[in-house]
Amino acid sequence: MDDPLQLLADRLDPPGDPDWLARIHQWHSQAREAQRIPAGDWLAWLILAGRGFGKTRTGAETVSEWAEAGAGQRFALVGQTFGDARDVMVEGESGLLAVLPPSALRGGSVSSAWNRSLGELFFSNGAKAKVFSSEKPGQLRGPQHHKAWVDEPAKFKDAHKGDALDTTVNNLMLGLRLGSKPQVVVTGTPTRALLVRQLVAKKSTHLTRGSTYDNLDNLAPTFRDEILSAYEGTRIGRQELLGEILDDVEGALWRLEQIDATRGELLLEVAA
């Protein structure tokens, strides 16, 4: 496999923004392997991990790297609500504005590059990112994009419908048709939502798993002391900390593994 740091070093020679490239190089030098854009022919990179893993930072850095390499490209930023996408994916502590150097922004500043009311972010090389939300899936029917970032899909208003026609993710994917290699990075905490389970099952999905403990050294001591101690060993801890998809419903009389174990026997009895 090619060394990602060497690939980035090789890109320092062509004309471009040295500050932007240096910033991407810095991220690659400190990011964990699970946070770097994976190689291979995938359509969706699905990152399902516990709280504090660094999912938002990974999504923002991925869009930054894509944008630097794709002058004039179009990106979709899709969240549960417009406010969620704006406040977390763009303006958050680990969002796009936090990871981009000023030279990567149109006009060299946030004020000239970021239209907060419209949710539009303009890059210095002509690339553009626009915010969309699951509250209005129809807004994704017309626009076309080269790449996209989807955050917390399990919280989408239509997540229970899965990848059905005219849902948020379905409309996004149908419009992801520009350029030679359309791709989407999806960041979220694992849940039983139909949309998440379908994304996991797709052959075109590259799945990355992770837990809170992967990034423990970078988390506040109070988080380690209070949050971890409160949820370690619990059902919610398995989902929110370890990043597990909990297939069983809490309090149910029968677990899925019990049903699966007897399903074959029941079918044989019916056939007999």
Instruction: State the DSSP string of the chain.
Output: ---HHHHHHHTTSSSS-HHHHHHHHHHHHHS-GGGSPPPSS-SEEEEEE-TTS-HHHHHHHHHHHHHHHSTT-EEEEEESSHHHIIIIIISSTTSHHHHS-GGGBGGGSHHHHEETTTTEEEBTTS-EEEEEETT-GGGGSS---SEEEEE-GGGSTTGGG-S-TTSHHHHHHHH---SSS-EEEEEE-----HHHHHHHH-TTEEEEEE-GGGGGGGS-HHIIIIIIHHHTTSHHHHHHTT-----SPTT-SS-HHHHHHHHHHHHHHHH-
Tokens standing for residue 167:
């849902």
pLDDT at 179 over 90: yes
- Residue 190: the pLDDT is 83
Maximum mean pLDDT: which of 50-54, 55-59, 235-239: 55-59
Count the Cβ atoms, other than its own, within 10 Å of residue 203: 6
Domain extent listing, the chain:
40-210
With 80 as the cut, is the pLDDT of residue 86 above it?
yes
pLDDT at 53 over 80: yes
pLDDT reading at 213 higher than 70: no
Q: Is the pLDDT of residue 14 over 80?
A: no
Q: 3: Cβ–Cβ under 8 A, 6 or more apart, which residues? A: none
Side chain identity at 147, as an amino acid letter?
K
**Does position 134 have pLDDT exceeding 80, yes or no?**
yes
pTM of the predicted structure, to 2 decimals: 0.80
The yes-or-no verdict on residue 182 having pLDDT over 50 is yes
The percentage of the chain sitting over the pLDDT mark of 90, rounded to a whole number, equals: 65
Give CA 120 to chain center in angstroms: 19
Give the residue among 153, 95, 170 at the shortest CA–CA distance from 129.
Answer: 95
| Type of residue found at 174 | L
Beta-sheet strand order (sheet of 183-188): 114-115, 120-122, 128-133, 74-79, 147-151, 183-188, 44-49, 205-210
- Give the model's confidence band at 221: pLDDT under 50 very low, under 70 low, under 90 confident, else very high: confident
Say yes or no to pLDDT of 125 above 60: yes
Where residue 264 falls among pLDDT bands split at 50, 70, 90?
very low
Query: How far is residue 39's CA from residue 33's CA, in Å, rounded to a whole number?
Result: 11
- State the pLDDT confidence band at 192, using cuts at 50, 70 and 90: confident
Higher pLDDT, 205 or 191: 205
Q: What is the mean pLDDT of residues 146-161?
A: 96
Q: What is the CATH number of domain 40-210?
A: 3.40.50.300
Q: How far is CA 26 from CA 18, 20, 108, in A?
A: 12, 10, 20
Short-list 166, 129, 165, CA closest to 148: 129
- Per-residue pLDDT at 166 exceeds 80: yes
Give the count of alpha carbons within 13 A of 67, CB side only.
34
8 A C-beta contact, residue 72 and residue 126: yes
Please report which confidence band the pLDDT of residue 99 belongs to, taking 50, 70 and 90 as the band edges.
very high
Identify which has the larger pLDDT, 192 or 216.
192
| pLDDT band of 16, cuts 50, 70, 90 | low
Q: What is the pLDDT of residue 270?
A: 47
- Mean pLDDT computed over every residue of the chain: 84
pLDDT exceeding 70 applies to what percent of the chain? 72
pLDDT at residue 233 in the model: 61
In the predicted structure, residue 8 carries a pLDDT above the cut 80: no
What amino acid occupies position 136? K
